Structure 1
Amino acid sequence: MLKAISLFTGAGGLDLGFEAAGFKTRVAVEIDPICCQTLRLNRGWTVVEEDIAGVSSKRLLKAAGLATGEADVLIGGPPCQPFSKSGYWANGDAPRLSDPNANTLDEYLRIVRDTRPKALLLENVYGFAYSGKREGLDRILHGIQDINKSAKTNYKPVWAVLDAASYGVPQRRERIFVIASRDGREFKFPQPTHGENAADQLPLGLKPFHTSWDAIGDLPQRPDVPELELTGKWAGLLPSIPEGQNYLWHTPRGGGVPLFGWRTRYWSFLLKLAKDKPSWTVQAQPGPATGPFHWTNRKLSARELARLQTFPDDFLFDCDRAQVQRMLGNAVPSLLAEVLAREIRRQLLDAPLREQKLELMPPRRRSVPRRHAAAPVRSVYLSLKGAHPDHPGTALGPRARLRSVELSS
């Protein structure tokens, strides 16, 4: 098998995809103990459970049993919080390079410089490449240029923002990927293979999106698991929201009762899956009213979360559901990683796979049941009914205004 070094491994979403494409993780570096426990439970990879800043490149190569230049690929997704969309929406910006976590970009570059893999892949959130706010992306691109000068390599990085659903993952999830070859070959990102699921609207050659029903339709609809029940102030309102909708249903522009102003809450607030559509992005640390939720008005189970992220069914978890969601919400969908790993093999390593079928592609399930009917709004929420103003716009909400006052004082 081809040899991979993995940084910021988390629960192994990237690694599982590369594994399906014929790579073996020779060493994984991860600081989180629950993630490390999960990796050891499932795979026999060498796991270095430390902050990457304290792991020398020499020690990393020794743990992998590799010499400089022998790794076929270096993969990793440095922590994304400094560049998150959530922070930008709420405050008008996110910490970006001023956040201490952004130093992980430099650690990634250090390992590239010292190990000189034949190819590299870096993953991060969409906000990493926001127009006018791409300091993190520029640091990576300029850092690779500096490596070429000092190490006499010829990495030519290319980057793209990919939606996982466009490649068969049953989840809308946009992430940026940076890929480069040591010998200067230019990587071409694969074209999307899937699109909107109305067949008559699909461009020629695209398959319909895989849906939530494809991913989890065979699992118990109403498992007797108390921790999946909703709690908190808004738990009783979720049944009144139709499948595929969120709190916007209960705004003056929606079809329900006007309980909120338009866009005055974050998109995932009371967000519910639709059986015939892909899931929305799985969140890592959701609040009690943050979806996506199951169409039967409950939280998603650990196995359902794993299915939506296209983790293989033999991948086990020995921790509570909140920890599973945190790990999976931070992970890369493994099928998308498999797609990219196959292309890296073919384009950059001259090692194409004979088998064309993607190992982690979910099956199609026929006979999608009708959508569950929404319930009436409970009386306890009707006191909120009335005229509610729209959100004033990005960076103009109350939290952003408060932050502006704090910065100016």
Structure 2
Amino acid sequence: DIDVRELPNEEVDIVLGGFPCQTFSYSGKRGGLSDPRGQLYLQMIRIIEHYRPKMFVAENVDGIRNSKKDNKGNAVDVSALDTILKAFDVAGYNVQYRVLNAADYGVPQSRRRVIILGIRKDLGDQEDVFYPKALFDQTGLETKQKWLSAKEGIDDLWGKINDPTVLNHTQRDYSKAKFYPGKKMQGNNRISADRPAPTIRAEHHGNIEAHYRTTLKDENNMDGWRRLSVRETARLQSFPDDFNFACSASSAYKMIGNAVPPVMSWHVARSVFYTLNKLGITSK
């Protein structure tokens, strides 16, 4: 547990939190609030209650809306998200959430995440809080900009393995795990070139998907497939090319998969700034 007495005594405007999502993820065991990781939002609340920031931002997977187990593992009628929102409300914040897709903000990846925004009750209400407007959409008909495809995100990196000008893109920076012909299993497939990549997960080895390109004429011959490199997964998450992951490939894959896409984060941060600015609330 966090000992708030050991925290720095200073004014904080915004608290950001991404409490563990694995227990709520559709690809996980779905332990929900009964998993110790599922209760770490309580630690975030302790920090919020200590600092009393103007606003907070919390992020989790879309599956949190449908996880319906209490802290003892019993099935209940209230979702984990509703329980968490109520706890933030009791802590003194007006809260709301939206499900945002990273692809709507120029990230070449389909990644749906619940973004919770809370504003201190003495400063504003739910209707005072703004979320970022989508800048891209699947067809381009609504925003005039179509979702970016995986090809637009990473195609220029093909053939550049071991290029010294490209970070985290060497022979050591991609999984060599074997592919299994005829089997349908996680990671045993290639991403598509003409649409956003699927959600980049905090995985490694055999669970990393293959590049849409292949070195052989026969597209179905797995001998020509290569799994996405660390740099390619970072690109699909919108990390800048000069961001170096100074660790093993396995650790880098996990960090990248656990991250909120930086470009999407920027848009959320701008919406928080806009909210406070519209209310005439400025930081010191």
Fold shared by both chains (TM-score > 0.5): yes
- Cα deviation for residue 120 of structure 1 reads 0.4
1:124-139 alignment to 2 at 5 Å? 124-130=60-66, 135-139=79-83
Alpha-carbon contact 2:210-2:226 (below 8 Å) kept: no
Which amino acid is 2:4 matched to? Answer: S
Partner of 1:35: none
Alpha-carbon contact 2:119-2:125 (below 8 Å) kept: yes
1:98-247 alignment to 2 at 5 Å? 98-130=34-66, 135-148=79-92, 155-182=93-120, 183-186=123-126, 187-196=129-138, 201-221=139-159, 223-224=161-162, 225-227=170-172, 228=174, 230-232=176-178, 234=180, 237=181
Match of 1:315 among 227, 243, 249: 243
Alpha-carbon contact 1:192-1:206 (below 8 Å) kept: no
Give the aligned CA root-mean-square deviation in angstroms: 2.4
- What stretches of structure 1 of length at least 5 have no aligned partner? 1-52, 89-93, 149-154, 238-258, 353-409
Match of 2:229 among 301, 316, 321: 301
Change (3 A) 1:138 1:299: same
Partner of 1:75: 16
State how far apart, in whole Å, the 2-side matches of 1:113 and 1:126 are: 26
Which amino acid is 1:136 matched to? Answer: A
Q: The residue matched to 1:87 in structure 2 has which SS?
A: coil
Partner of 1:60: 7
- By percentage of residues, which structure has more helix? 1
Partner of 2:198: 280
- Cα deviation for residue 59 of structure 1 reads 2.6
- What stretches of structure 2 of length at least 5 have no aligned partner? 70-77, 163-169, 215-224
Change (3 A) 1:204 1:113: same
Change (3 A) 1:79 1:311: same
- Cα deviation for residue 158 of structure 1 reads 0.7
**Structure showing greater Rg:** 1
Alpha-carbon contact 1:161-1:177 (below 8 Å) kept: yes
**Structure 1 residues 115-142: Cα deviation after superposition (integer angstroms, max 9, x where no partner):** 1111100000111112756632122211
Q: The residue matched to 2:53 in structure 1 has which SS?
A: coil
- Cα deviation for residue 290 of structure 1 reads 4.3
Change (3 A) 1:98 1:279: same
Identity of aligned residues (%): 32
Change (3 A) 1:322 1:144: same
Higher relative contact order, structure no. (Cα contacts within 8 Å, ≥ 6 residues apart): 1
The two structures have a TM-score, normalised by structure 1, of 0.56
- Cα deviation for residue 109 of structure 1 reads 1.0
Q: The residue matched to 1:61 in structure 2 has which SS?
A: coil
Q: The residue matched to 1:162 in structure 2 has which SS?
A: strand
Alpha-carbon contact 1:72-1:349 (below 8 Å) kept: no
The two structures have a TM-score, normalised by structure 2, of 0.79
- Cα deviation for residue 101 of structure 1 reads 1.1
State how far apart, in whole Å, the 1-side matches of 2:24 and 2:42 are: 15
- Cα deviation for residue 310 of structure 1 reads 1.1
Change (3 A) 1:226 1:204: closer
Q: The residue matched to 1:218 in structure 2 has which SS?
A: helix
Which amino acid is 1:184 matched to? Answer: G
Q: The residue matched to 2:113 in structure 1 has which SS?
A: strand
Q: The residue matched to 2:115 in structure 1 has which SS?
A: strand
Alpha-carbon contact 1:78-1:104 (below 8 Å) kept: yes
